[in-house]
């Protein structure tokens, strides 16, 4: 028996009698260590015929699963990893429809059905949404392993009850079963299975040396029997299974132990520890050198205190998955895992530089051009999150690094929220827990879910602090727990007699940090643009009253006027006497 899983695959897809092929399929067979840690993934999706963009949905569903599944933590189960990816993809597809002209007609939106199989060690994991199907051929018998999510209205009419992108929520069918050598899985769209009987399928696959040719023969038979739909199927045969003792490795990867406290010159999973960089109640961060590449890296391990806190540990494991999905020069990059992992940890690139917090201490009065450049780079990093329907939610100077070349990178993803994947009950609980309240948007303190505008608030607060040395509302935001209290928040202008800052720059920051998210910028690019160019809306607006621009000066003037009135009144009374 072999020491690793081996399969044979045959695939075929054709538009049939339709003008466009709205199906999509794919297989990913990784090398070790991912083959043992994550397994082999096979997926097939079928776009709905009523939509002109459903082929985009089908392609996105398959490619996202095959790419992002391998970015999830090795410590997650197959079920957790695949479902997290599918839920996030579903949320993205649904959002694309909501932003299109078909937002009121889901049958014309970004919708598809999907079936997938992940083969890991000696187990098959099946995931299914819609009316594509998965069959198992074992010992000459073909068995349907999935249930069609289709409601029959009559003998000639039916509609999909579940599909990718059709709703914000996604209900995924899941099952697992032990594998046997010689097992064959068949994934097929309705254009195939509705027109070909089991006998023909079994005969075509049985003993076939060329599975691609078998797939073509089955599709051709479906077409000959009158199929008027797209024709796509995948045939996967289990050739070899890992030896039973190899399951021990799989068990370790799905239930990894916590790393011990590391010390300088210690060898750890192929890394040589140089020194500890930072320690907190949540994690320990070390500088290390990869023994294979001699590359300097950063190792982050969860604190032993998290052993009994699954929510904290789940956030920690989520960080690596998020980092692997994002590709931006302004977001910290994870290191490629090329060796078996024996502990829970994350390895990332080493950014030689300083945090923005330290930079602001060293540069208390930076020039406006430098501040604009830093804000623009942070915004580009945040845009990489937002494009993937992610919110950073913990943007603060301590989570931003500036390297020796002046490149700015966002480095911490512990609070990042992925659309459709909610790790924590409420945003306010998360912020209190992670300690970023002073930079958090006011809506979080009302218990509301954040949005891209919430990250814009945090960026605006950082810009304000760099230019003025203080936050836009001081320490008042975390204390404002009602709408009424938030309406009373007083913005602290960045304008000063000591610095030459245009009034329209102050207006841009004021808009970015407005207590009401609907009054803020909708896009990061708009904020960055207004920091560089005078916005006519600001220049043409009516000048705000003195009490809003300089409340202290206003009350000083009022007090002086009242004092003068009292003096005049007393003089008049004295003359009358």
User: In the chain, what are the domain boundaries?
Assistant: 6-249, 256-349, 353-541, 551-577
- What was the pLDDT predicted at 2? 55
Per-residue CA distances from 461 to 38, 470, 485, 509 (Å): 41, 9, 19, 8
Question: Topology of domain 256-349, per CATH?
Answer: Phosphorylase Kinase; domain 1 (3.30.200)
User: Do 407 and 373 contact (CB within 8 A), yes or no?
Assistant: no
Tell me how crowded residue 567 is: count the other CB atoms within 10 A of its CB. 10
Phi, psi of 188 (to 5 degrees): -145, 150
Measured distance CA(566)–CA(562) in Å, rounded: 6
Torsion of CA 278, 281, 283, 287, to 10 degrees: 20
**231-240 and 6-14: which strand pairing?**
antiparallel
- What was the pLDDT predicted at 171? 93
The encoded tokens of residue 250 equal: 């799989």
In tens, the pLDDT along 358-409 reads: 999 999 999 999 999 999 999 999 999 998 888 999 999 999 999 999 999 9
Say which residues have a Cβ less than 8 Å from residue 460's Cβ, sequence separation at least 6: 472, 509, 511, 512, 513, 520, 527
Measured distance CA(220)–CA(150) in Å, rounded: 25
CATH number of the 353-541 domain: 1.10.510.10
User: Do 172 and 86 contact (CB within 8 A), yes or no?
Assistant: yes
301 - beta bridge partners? 284
3-class SS of residue 520 = coil
User: Do 187 and 25 contact (CB within 8 A), yes or no?
Assistant: yes
Q: 0.75 cut: is pTM over it?
A: no
User: Do 263 and 288 contact (CB within 8 A), yes or no?
Assistant: no
Measured distance CA(72)–CA(78) in Å, rounded: 9
Average pLDDT value over all residues in the chain: 87
- What was the pLDDT predicted at 254? 42
Measured distance CA(135)–CA(127) in Å, rounded: 12
Phi, psi of 396 (to 5 degrees): -155, 160
CATH superfamily label, 6-249: PPM-type phosphatase domain (3.60.40.10)
The encoded tokens of residue 300 equal: 């982050």
Strand order, beta sheet including 283-290: 267-268, 271-279, 283-290, 296-302, 346-349
9 - beta bridge partners? 236
Read off the DSSP letter of residue 144.
Answer: E
User: Do 518 and 466 contact (CB within 8 A), yes or no?
Assistant: no
Measured distance CA(481)–CA(507) in Å, rounded: 25
- What was the pLDDT predicted at 339? 83
Measured distance CA(219)–CA(229) in Å, rounded: 11
Measured distance CA(420)–CA(165) in Å, rounded: 11
Measured distance CA(2)–CA(69) in Å, rounded: 25
Q: Is 393 left (phi over 0), alpha (psi -120 to 50) or beta?
A: left
Buried b (16+ CB within 10 A) or exposed e, 504-521: bbbbbbbbbbbbebeebb
Say which residues have a Cβ less than 8 Å from residue 473's Cβ, sequence separation at least 6: 489, 490, 491, 492, 513, 515
Report the share of the chain in percent with pLDDT over 70.
90
- What was the pLDDT predicted at 340? 79
The encoded tokens of residue 350 equal: 């080493």
Please name the residue that has the structure tokens 């999509």. 24
- What was the pLDDT predicted at 529? 96
Q: Which residues of the chain have pLDDT under 50?
A: 1, 245-254, 423-426, 432-435, 542
Is the CA virtual torsion 316, 319, 324, 329 positive or negative? negative
DSSP string, 210-232: -HHHHHHHHHHHHHHTT--S-EE
Alpha helix stretches (DSSP H) within 206-309: 211-224, 247-254
In tens, the pLDDT along 234-284 reads: 999 999 998 654 444 434 434 678 889 999 999 999 999 999 998 888 889
């Amino acid at each position: 028996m072999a020491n690793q899983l081996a399969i044979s695959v045959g695939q075929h897809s054709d538009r049939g009698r339709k003008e466009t092929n709205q199906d999509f399929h794919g297989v990913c067979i990784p090398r070790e260590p991912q083959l043992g840690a994550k397994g082999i993934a096979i997926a097939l999706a079928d776009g709905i015929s009523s939509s002109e963009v459903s082929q985009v949905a089908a392609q996105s569903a398959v490619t996202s699963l095959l790419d992002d599944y391998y970015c999830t933590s090795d410590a997650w189960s197959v079920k957790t990893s695949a479902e997290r990816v599918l839920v996030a993809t579903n949320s993205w597809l649904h959002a694309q429809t909501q932003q299109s002209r078909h937002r009121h007609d889901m049958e014309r939106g970004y919708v598809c059905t999907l079936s997938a199989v992940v083969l890991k060690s000696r187990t098959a994991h099946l995931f299914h949404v819609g009316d594509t199907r998965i069959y198992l051929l074992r010992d000459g018998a073909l068995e349907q392993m999935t249930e069609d999510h289709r409601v029959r209205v009559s003998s000639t009419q039916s509609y999909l009850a579940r599909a990718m992108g059709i709703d914000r929520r996604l209900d995924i069918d899941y099952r697992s079963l032990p594998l046997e050598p010689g097992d064959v899985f068949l994934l097929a769209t309705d254009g195939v299975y509705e027109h070909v009987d089991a006998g023909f399928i079994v005969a075509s696959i049985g003993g076939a040396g060329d599975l691609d040719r078998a797939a073509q023969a089955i599709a051709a038979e479906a077409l000959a029997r009158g199929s008027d739909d797209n024709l796509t199927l995948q045939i996967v045969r289990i050739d070899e299974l890992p030896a039973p003792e190899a399951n021990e490795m799989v068990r370790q990867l799905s239930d990894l132990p916590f790393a011990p406290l590391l010390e300088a010159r210690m060898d750890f999973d192929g890394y040589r520890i140089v020194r500890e960089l930072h320690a907190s109640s949540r994690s320990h961060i070390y500088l290390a050198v990869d023994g294979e590449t001699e590359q300097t890296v950063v190792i982050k391990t969860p604190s032993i205190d998290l052993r009994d806190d699954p929510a904290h540990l789940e956030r920690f494991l989520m960080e690596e998955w998020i980092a692997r999905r994002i590709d931006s020069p302004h977001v910290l990059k994870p290191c490629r895992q090329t060796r078996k992992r024996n502990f829970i940890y994350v390895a990332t690139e080493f950014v030689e530089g300083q945090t923005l917090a330290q930079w602001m201490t060293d540069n208390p009065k930076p020039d406006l051009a430098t501040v604009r450049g830093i804000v623009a780079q942070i915004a580009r990093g945040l845009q990489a999150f937002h494009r993937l329907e992610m919110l950073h939610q913990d943007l603060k100077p301590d989570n931003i690094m500036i390297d020796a070349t002046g490149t700015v990178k966002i480095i911490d993803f512990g609070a990042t929220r992925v659309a459709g994947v909610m790790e924590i009950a409420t945003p306010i609980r998360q912020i209190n827990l992670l300690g970023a309240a002073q930079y958090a948007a006011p809506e979080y303190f009302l218990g509301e879910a954040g949005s891209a505008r919430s990250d814009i608030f945090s960026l605006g607060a950082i810009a304000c602090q760099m230019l003025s040395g203080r936050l836009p509302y001081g320490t008042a935001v975390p204390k404002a727990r009602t709408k009424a209290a938030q309406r009373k928040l007083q913005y602290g202008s960045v304008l000063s007699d000591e610095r030459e800052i245009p009034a329209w720059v102050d207006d841009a920051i004021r808009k970015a940090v407005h207590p009401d998210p609907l009054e803020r910028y909708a896009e990061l690019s708009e904020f960055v643009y207004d920091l560089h160019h005078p916005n006519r809306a600001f220049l043409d607006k009516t000048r705000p009253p003195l009490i809003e621009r300089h409340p202290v000066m206003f009350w000083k003037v009022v007090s002086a006027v009242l004092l003068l009135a009292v003096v005049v009144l007393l003089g008049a009374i004295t003359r009358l006497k």
